[in-house]
Amino acid sequence: MTESWVNSAERLGSDLHLDLARPGSRRAVLTGALREAVRDGRLAPGTRLPSYRSLAADLGLARNTVADAYAELVAEGWLIARQGSGTRVAPRTEPVPPPQVPKAAAPRPAPPAHDLQQGQPDASSFPRSAWLAAARRAFAAAPNEAFGPGDPRGRPELRRALTEYLARARGVRTSPDRIVVCSGFAHALRLIFGGRVLHGPLAVESYGLAFHRAILAAASVRTVPLALDADGARTAELAGLTGVRAALLTPAHQFPTGGPLHPERRVTALDWARTRGGVILEDDYDGEFRYDREPVGAVQGLDPDRVVYIGSVSKSLSPALRLGWMVLPEHLVPAVLDAKGRREAWAGVTDQLTLADFIASGHYDRHVRRMRQRYRARRDRLVAALTARAPHITPTGIAAGLHAVLRLPPGTERSTVEAAAERSIALDGLADFRHPDATMPVQDGLVVGYAAPPNHGYAQAVEALCRILPPAPGEH
């Protein structure tokens, strides 16, 4: 007798895999397989089993064989049979022991008591009701072909909605046929450089995500750091870089140090790209969350043919959605689609349709405005606490975004990060973001995210942070 699958509509439950490839009579093998399924928890208490006739037909057994197996398990207390409700797994007085974890598997670390890591939005604020309503409207209006093989460009509904929104909110100049949907900024990097749409070396800012540098290194792209100051990347340095024809910048809010790229430096970068026949990759990091300044438009709007604009909903809505977009110069669209492949394998159509409706209905604008107010209040609370408790610590980069950089006394960053870890506070040191080849002076600091903690835990997180900050020089 071979392994068989139980799949009966009368079960009113999930498929059950029974291993019947054992020696013995058919009744004994079936009884043992069912008993084992109950014992190890695969058949939970209350689960309704198939009727004698249904299970017998599925397994190729006589009906009496199944009836006798059920009767035996009822007598032993494994099953219960009641008139009109069929045969079900009996309740257990003792919980089913959890499956044994292999000894080689490392336990997952406990979550931090206070999560102040950068780049994370407030997960509890995801607009569930509005998103669900958008999904219902989008699914009702979607054509049948939307649920067939995907288009590597992304759904036209979303590309149209993004065209209107990005023009209105970010000053981006494009059309739907120049937008390619992806799963986020990292995916865009993999497509552009892993797919050999662009080639290295690539100019980058001296501070940025090591994760992004690792993606580029995996694509054999050498990165060359540009120095930073209060006005952003020193784009005049581009002219002196031999062989470099592409630069990655965060103009709206430099990550992680903060601050927008100065207008003159934007023009310098674009002039360099035109002269060199190069491309600017614009990471619109935190472009929607500004607090104390006028909105800073996208560099892409100044020259759509020399800028690849990349955005996502990872900060504005949720990183779990895995939705982003590239606004491309027209001449790069075919190469990006070739790199992506003919079938959409990264961003689900259902989420694309929902996001399109969410944007077009105005819910996205309302959500961003609401979160902008909430994050500003959190930022103000952090700044007020620092002013009162640690006035020698200067927060910078706080005019926009979801994090602040706390400038520390020289030589104190490492010990402060270690003190945070000892007290279960998750945050990053500024050194973690420094390019290994950067030549600009080293500055000690903490990168503190203020968006992730839940509302009820934010005050405690700020208090815990203040307790581990180093004293002012000369104090003890």
Instruction: Find out whether 324 and 431 touch, Cβ atoms under 8 Å.
Output: no
Neighbours of 60 (CB within 10 A): 11
Token pair recorded at residue 463: 């208090």
Listed residue (335, 316, 351, 350) closest to 165, CA to CA: 316
Residue 10 has a pLDDT of 39
Tell me if 179 sits within 8 A of 159, measured CB to CB.
yes
Alpha helices in 348-412, H assignment, sequence order: 349-360, 363-389
pTM of the complete model: 0.82
Local structure of residue 130 (DSSP, 8 states): H
- With a CB cutoff of 8 Å and minimum separation 6, the contacts of 372 are 288, 289, 290, 291
- pLDDT per residue, tens digit, the chain (476 aa), is 444 444 433 344 345 677 787 888 888 988 998 998 888 888 889 888 888 888 888 788 888 888 899 989 988 889 998 877 788 899 876 555 555 555 666 667 788 999 999 988 999 999 999 999 999 999 999 999 999 887 899 999 999 999 999 999 999 999 999 999 999 999 999 999 999 999 989 999 999 999 999 999 999 999 999 999 999 999 999 999 999 999 999 999 999 998 899 999 999 999 999 999 999 999 997 778 888 767 788 999 999 999 999 999 999 999 999 999 999 999 999 999 999 987 655 678 999 999 999 999 999 999 999 999 999 999 999 999 999 999 999 999 999 899 999 999 999 999 999 999 999 999 999 999 999 999 999 999 999 999 999 889 999 999 999 999 999 887 76
Break the chain down into helix, strand, coil percent, rounded to 5: 40, 15, 40
Q: How far is CA 162 from CA 157, 169, 171, 300, 360, in A?
A: 9, 10, 12, 14, 9
CA angle 333, 335, 340 (to 5 degrees): 95
Q: Which domains does the chain have, with CATH numbers?
A: 4-89 (1.10.10.10), 123-363 (3.40.640.10), 366-468 (3.90.1150.10)
10 Å CB burial of residue 213 (0-12, 13-18, 19+) is: buried
Rounded Cα distance between 232 and 260, Å, is 6
Which residues, in sequence order, are CB contacts of 271 under 8 Å at separation 6+? none
Whole-number Cα distances in Å, 347 to 80, 326, 354, 468: 46, 13, 12, 41
- Which residues, in sequence order, are bridge partners of residue 406? 395, 446
